[in-house]
Amino acid sequence: MNALPTPEVNLDNCDREPIHIPGHIQPHGVLFAFDRNDRLTFRSVNANEMLGDAIPAPGETLAAHHFPGFDGFHELMAEVREAAEGDVIPHAMQFSSANGTFDVIAHRTPDGVMCEFENALHAVPVPPNFSFTSHRSTERLKRQQDIQGLLTVAVDEVRRMTGFDRVMAYRFRHDDSGEVVAESVDAALDPFIGRRYPASDIPVQARRLYIINTLRLIADVKSVPIPVEAAPHAGGPLDMSHGVLRSVSPVHIEYLTNMGVGASMSVSIVIGGKLWGMLACHHMQPRRPAYTVRMACDVLAQILASNLQGALSREHAGRADTAASLRASVVEQVLHADDVILALSSEAPTLCEVFGAHGVVVADGARLEVSGGLPQATAATLIQWLNEQQHAPGRLIHMNTLDGLPPTLLQQMDVWCGLLALPFGAESQSWLLLLRKEQLETVLWGGKPEKNYTTGPLGPRLTPRGSFDLWKEIVSGKAVPWDALDLDNAQKLLDKLSRADAAHMAEINRARNQLMAMLGHDLRDPLQSISNTATLLEKRGGDDRISQRLMSSSTRMQRLVSQVMDMSRMHSGSLTFQMREVDLAALFEQLIAETRAAHPGMEIMPRLPQHLFANVDADRMAQVLSNLLSNASHHGTAGEPVLVQLGEKNGIVTMEVSNSGAPIPDEMVPTLFQPFKRMTTQSPTNRNGLGLGLYIAHKVIAGHGGELSYTYADPYVVFSASFPARRTP
C-alpha cells in the first residue's frame, strides 16, 4: 500500500487545489477511516509507531481486541455509527493508555466513520479552572451590544484562552476581500489592524471548508506531513473536510513561513450559512492548544456569530430608521421651501451619513449646489452627461466604477468612483447625486506597510505587504458598492422626493393661476386707464415728458402682464394658435417699422424677401420677432445695428436676429429658454425684465413645429428659428 500522491501546487492553481483530500495529516496524531462494514479503508502511516501493533491493518475489520487499553473506544465507535445519516458532529473522548494520552475525535462520513487520535504530548495543558475562565469569556461577550465591541472582546478572550501571540478578527467585505478590524497582539509584534487582503488569499474551496469545519489548527508550520495510505478496496481519496488533523496547503504554509509564524489557528464566524469573518491566531513558535480549549473557542465563536447577527440586525434597523427620518425631513423641506435646491443641499451632511457618501450634488438645470469637495465644473459635466442619457424620472442610477463614462468626464472624476443618482422634478429634470470616493482614498492603514518580510520560492505575493499591494491593484478605480439597503432607502427617498416636488409645483401652479387671474382682471383695466389718461393729457397740451413717461410705463407693464399670462397658458397647456396664410415679409416689415418708431436710436438692418407666405399665427409670430428684437436691443452693443434675416428653402422657413456683442457665458446657455433666468438681472438696460421673452419665443416656434436656437458667430450673437411653412395636419 502506497501513500496517495499529492499534485504540485503553486499560485496559478491554488484556487483549484483539492484541499479536502490532501492525502496527508499533521504529525501530532493518527487517522483511521472505516467503511460501513467496519473495514479499515485508510490509515496514516504513523499508526503503529504512535499506537502500537494492536490496531487493524488496512482492509481488516475492526474487532474487539483492537485498541487495547482504550477503554470505551468501541462504545464511542458504536455511538458514532448509530448517529443519523449526514450527522457530522464529532464525538470525542479522552483516553489514557500505555502509549500515552489521546483525544479521540470520531464522526460519521458518507462511507462510514473517520476516527482521529490526537496525541496530548506537547499540547498546551488545559489551564486550571478553565471551565470558569471560558464561562467568564462567554459572559463578557454577551454583554457587548455593538459589532466592534463584540470583536474586540472576542480577540482578547481567545488570546487569553489559547496563549497565541496574535489574535485577529478578520471581517469579509462585499467582494470577499478581508480587513483586520480588531486585534489582540504581543507588544513586540507589528500590529495588523486595518490591513486589507484580496479575496484570493482565501480561495473558494477554503471558504467552503471554513463553513463546514469551523476550527482549523496548524500546530507546527515546519512539521513534515504524514502520508495516509489506502486499503486495496478503498474507492477513492479520503475526504478529510471534517477532520482535525487534515494537512495544509503548501501555499498557505509558505505564506505563514514568510511571516515568521510557527503555528496558527482559525475559528470561523458563520452567519446565515455564510462566512462573515474569522478569528485568526498566530504564534511565532509551534503551539497546540488542547482539543478542549479549541472546542471552547469554537463555542465562543458561535456565540459571537449569534450576537453579531443581532447587532447587524439592529444596525440594519437603525439605518432604516435614520433613512426614514431623513425622508420625513426632506419632504418637509421641499414642501415648504422657497428654494428646493438650497433646501436639499442643507441636508448634505445627513445624506452623507445615512448613505455612507462623501459628497452630494443637487442640480436643477444649470444651477448646482455641491458639498464634499467635488469640483463645481466636474459636477456640471457629470449632470450634463446624466441628462444626455435621458433617464426616466423616478428610476435610480447607481455605479461603483467609472466604467462607461466618456474619457473627458473620466479624467475629471478622479477619485470619485461611486455614484447614486436620484432624478426627480415635476417640470424639469432635477438631480440629487450621492458620491463615494475610491476605496484606496478611504482605507485607514493601521500597520506598517513598508515592512519587508522573508519570501519563499513563490515570491513576495505571499506576504502581508504583497497581499495588500494586490488588494490595492484589484480595487483601484472602484468605490464600495451601494448595498441593498442603500438602494432601497434611496428608492424610497426618490419616491418621496418626487411626490413632494410634484405637490410643491402643484401649489406653485395654483398660486400662479390665481396671480394670472388677478393680473388679467385687476391690473389690465387700471393700466388701460393710465394709458388713455396719458394720451388725453398729450392731446390737451399737457407736459409731453409726463405723458410719454406714463405711456412708456403703462406699455411696459402691459407687456409684462401679457408675457406672464402667456407663460401661464404655456405651463397649463392652454396656449392656442390661430393658423392662417400670412405674408411674413410684410409682417416683419411692419414690426420693424414700429420698433424703429418706438426706439429711434436703434438701427435695424432687414434682409427680407419681397414676399414669403407661410401658415402661421400672425400675432404669435409677431411676438417672436418683437421679443428677439427687444432682446437684441437690451443686450447688444450700443450703436451697433441689429440684423434681421428671413428666408425659405425646401418648405422650411428660417429667420435670424443677430446683434453685435459678447458671447453668452457657457454656464448660462442651457437655461437661455427657461423663464425667470438669473442672467436677465445682469443687464443694466433691462433691470425690470422677467426673462420671459426668449422662453415665450421658444415655445411659440415649438408650437409651429420648429426650433429656436442660439449660436455665436464672432462678433455676433445669433438667434435662429426654423419651422415648416406648411404643417402637415
pLDDT tens digit string along 16-75? 667 778 889 999 999 999 999 999 999 999 999 999 999 999 999 999 999 998 999 999
Cβ count within 10 A of residue 545: 8
pLDDT score of 682 more than 50: no
Half-sphere exposure of 356 (CA within 13 A, CB side): 15
pLDDT score of 218 more than 60: yes
> Does residue 675 have a cis bond before it (omega within 30 degrees)?
no
pLDDT score of 688 more than 50: no
pLDDT score of 159 more than 90: yes
SS (H, E, C) 104-146: EEEEEECCEEEEEEEECCCCECCCCCHHHHHHHHHHHHHCCCC
578-609 burial, b at 16+ Cβ within 10 Å, e below that, comes to: ebeebebbebbeebbeebeeeeeebebeeebe
Average pLDDT, the chain: 85
Q: With cut-offs at 50, 70 and 90, classify the pLDDT of residue 520.
A: low
Cβ count within 10 A of residue 208: 14
Residue pair 247/24 in contact (Cβ under 8 Å)? The answer is: yes
504-520 burial, b at 16+ Cβ within 10 Å, e below that, comes to: bbeeeeeebeeebeebe
Q: List the alpha helices (DSSP H) in 407-543.
A: 407-413, 439-442, 464-475, 484-518, 524-539
Which range, of 408-422, 432-446, 498-512, 514-528, averages the lowest pLDDT? 514-528
Residue count of the chain: 729
Helix (H) or strand (E) holding 648: strand 642-649
Q: Which three cell numbers stand for residue 552?
A: 412708456
**Rounded (10°) CA dihedral 690, 695, 700, 701:** 140
Q: Among the ranges 44-53, 93-102, 453-462, 567-576, which has the highest mean pLDDT value?
A: 44-53
| Nearby residues of 578 by Cβ (< 8 Å), 6 or more positions away | 617, 618, 619
Residue pair 477/402 in contact (Cβ under 8 Å)? The answer is: yes
Please tell me the predicted confidence (pLDDT) of residue 568: 59
Q: Which string of DSSP letters, residue by residue, matches 187-238?
A: TTSPP-TT-EE-GGGS-HHHHHHHHHS-EEEES-TTPPPEEEEE-TT--S--
CA distance 708 to 623: 14
Name residue, grid cell 475562565: 133
Burial class (CB in 10 A: 0-12, 13-18, 19+), 150: buried
pLDDT score of 604 more than 60: yes
Q: With cut-offs at 50, 70 and 90, classify the pLDDT of residue 570.
A: low
Percent of the chain residues topping a pLDDT of 70 = 83
CA distance 621 to 657: 14
What are the tens digits of pLDDT across the range 530-543? 666 666 666 666 55
Please tell me the predicted confidence (pLDDT) of residue 3: 47
Cβ count within 10 A of residue 293: 23
Please tell me the predicted confidence (pLDDT) of residue 205: 86
Q: How far is CA 448 from the centre of its chain?
A: 29
Residue pair 385/405 in contact (Cβ under 8 Å)? The answer is: yes
Please tell me the predicted confidence (pLDDT) of residue 8: 56
pLDDT score of 216 more than 80: yes
pLDDT score of 354 more than 80: yes
pLDDT score of 425 more than 80: no
Burial class (CB in 10 A: 0-12, 13-18, 19+), 196: buried
Q: Which string of DSSP letters, residue by residue, matches 346-370?
A: TTHHHHHHHHT-SEEEEEETTEEEE
Q: Which three cell numbers stand for residue 587?
A: 409682417
Which range, of 71-80, 142-151, 405-414, 540-549, averages the lowest pLDDT? 540-549
* Alpha-carbon separation of residue 65 from 58, 240, 513 (angstroms): 16, 27, 103
Please tell me the predicted confidence (pLDDT) of residue 646: 96
* Residue 576 DSSP symbol: -
pLDDT score of 575 more than 90: no
What are the tens digits of pLDDT across the range 444-459? 554 445 566 777 777 6
Please tell me the predicted confidence (pLDDT) of residue 264: 97
Percent of the chain residues topping a pLDDT of 90 = 53
Residue 205 sits at φ, ψ, to 5 deg, of -65, -30
CA distance 423 to 421: 6
Please tell me the predicted confidence (pLDDT) of residue 526: 61
Judged by DSSP in three states, 425 sits in coil
Name residue, grid cell 478569528: 279
Give me the amino acid identity at 338.
Answer: D
Please tell me the predicted confidence (pLDDT) of residue 504: 66
What are the tens digits of pLDDT across the range 631-674? 898 888 888 999 999 999 999 999 999 999 999 988 788 778 87
171 versus 472: which is more confidently predicted?
171
129 versus 285: which is more confidently predicted?
285
Please tell me the predicted confidence (pLDDT) of residue 225: 96
Give me the amino acid identity at 449.
Answer: P
pLDDT score of 405 more than 60: yes
CA distance 572 to 512: 10
Q: With cut-offs at 50, 70 and 90, classify the pLDDT of residue 254.
A: confident
pLDDT score of 313 more than 70: yes
Please tell me the predicted confidence (pLDDT) of residue 476: 86
